[in-house]
Each structure stands twice: as C-alpha cells, then as structure tokens.
Amino acid sequence: MSYEDDVRDFYVQHGFGGRNGFGKRPAVVVIDLAGSWLDPKKSQHGTTRLESVVTRTCDILAAARAAGHPVFFTTMRPDRVDVKGPIGAKLPQMRSGAANPLADQMAELDPRLERRDDEPLFNKPRASAFYGTPFDAYLNARGIDTLIITGCSTSGCVRATAESAHNRNLHGIVVRDAVGERSPIAHEANLTDIDLRYADVVDGAEVIAYLEATPAA
C-alpha cells in the first residue's frame, strides 16, 4: 500500500473524505501561472515542472469560455507583499523590502492562458485567492456555487484557496492534472489531504465534461 493510500484509509476511517460533487453555477480560477513560477530566469520558487499544468489549464479555460462560465486569475508581486514579522520569517526570499526590477515580469501571466479583458486578475498578498482581494464579491454577484481551481502551487496557494472555498461552503474542485508543485512528494501528499478535507480532486476530463454540460448563468 502506498503512503497516500495509507493516509487516505486512516482519514476515511475517522470520518473524513466525503464528496462535494459539482454544483450548478461554476467558475474557474487560475492560480499564479506567471513568470515567477514558469520562467527559470525570473523564478523565485526553484525548479518546477509546470508545462503540462499550463497545457491542461488551457484546456479547462477553453471549455469554460466556450460555455460562458466566469474565469478569474491571480498573481503575486513579490515587491508588494508585506513580509514584516513572522510572515517574513517564512518568506525570506521576499524579506529584503528592496524593489525587484523583474517584479512586473514575475507577476505577468503566461501568455498561453490568453486572459481576456473581462476576466478579472487579482494581485493577492497571501496564498489564498480570497485573502485581501474582492474575489468573494465577484463570486457572490454571479451566484457561483462551484469553484474549479487550477494553477500552482499545490501545497501553497492552491491548497489555501481550496480551504477558503470550503470555509465559504462552495463546491471546491481541484483539477488533478491542472495543478502543480515544485516537489512531487508535496504535490501528491497535498492532493490527498485536499481531497479528504477541503475539495474534490478531479481529473481534467471530468471537469471539462461538466463545464460543457452545465448551462451558463
């Protein structure tokens, strides 16, 4: 039995692991697929393997756009994150406070995502897409009950956003093949934990079929 299977069995035995399922009003959020993760010349996050994540996210975006479902994006500018106090101790790469000449490029979304003018972009100060942004207001105004989460990193901003969605009683859906992480071990461990505690972890093919079959609001 694998580590993930062992953890899953333990949690299920103790009452975790229920399923959210899909709701009726979905939106897609793309977390931080920007230069700081994808361009090795600008990255602050170490070596990552996210090409397949970008490709699969583009598939999800194509299905959402064709069906008329809302799409949102997030990014982070490292020179605009308040890292005083204990937060700074956990983010030493951002702690200097000096302006980063590559900050704009680091925060720029990957062009393959082809973000449209009517697709909001939130510059978030923390891991969750909800923290310090108007994301809640946008979702509430559209009556969204299902949040489909793609992007990076699985153990950080994806997980934090999934937990925030769970706390807001949304149907949280993390797309297994459209999220990524610097560490394969952290990726698998967090997908297991997210699936058992916060959101359903679902393959992209199932998500695309749902988006295509669900009428837009």
Q: Domain spans of the chain?
A: 23-208
pTM here is: 0.86
Q: Angle of helix 204-213 relative to helix 51-67, nearest 10 degrees?
A: 10
pLDDT of residue 35: 82
pLDDT of residue 201: 97
Range with the poorest average pLDDT among 7-16, 33-42, 76-85: 76-85
| Alpha carbons 116 and 11: distance in angstroms, whole number | 41
**Region 61-79 average pLDDT:** 92
Range with the poorest average pLDDT among 49-58, 88-97, 149-158, 203-212: 88-97
pLDDT of residue 38: 79
For the segment 113-130, what is each residue's pLDDT rounded down to a tens digit? 999 999 999 999 899 999
- The CA-based angle 21-121-62, given to 5 degrees, is 55
| Alpha carbons 121 and 117: distance in angstroms, whole number | 9
Helices and strands (H, E) in the chain, number of each type: 9, 6
Specify the higher pLDDT residue, 181 or 88: 181
| Alpha carbons 203 and 60: distance in angstroms, whole number | 11
- pLDDT confidence tier of residue 30, bands split at 50, 70 and 90: very high
Is CATH 3.30.499.10 what the domain over 23-208 is classified as, yes or no?
no
pLDDT of residue 63: 98
| Alpha carbons 125 and 93: distance in angstroms, whole number | 15
- pLDDT confidence tier of residue 37, bands split at 50, 70 and 90: confident
- Which residue numbers are catalytic? 157
**Region 45-59 average pLDDT:** 83
| Alpha carbons 140 and 129: distance in angstroms, whole number | 15
Alpha helices in the chain (DSSP H): 3-13, 35-38, 51-67, 86-90, 103-107, 135-141, 159-167, 184-197, 204-213
Q: Is a pLDDT exceeding 90 seen at residue 18?
A: no
- pLDDT confidence tier of residue 107, bands split at 50, 70 and 90: confident
Q: Is a pLDDT exceeding 80 seen at residue 47?
A: no
**Region 71-93 average pLDDT:** 67
**Region 96-108 average pLDDT:** 65
Burial zone of 139 (CB within 10 Å; 0-12 exposed, 13-18 middle, 19+ buried): buried
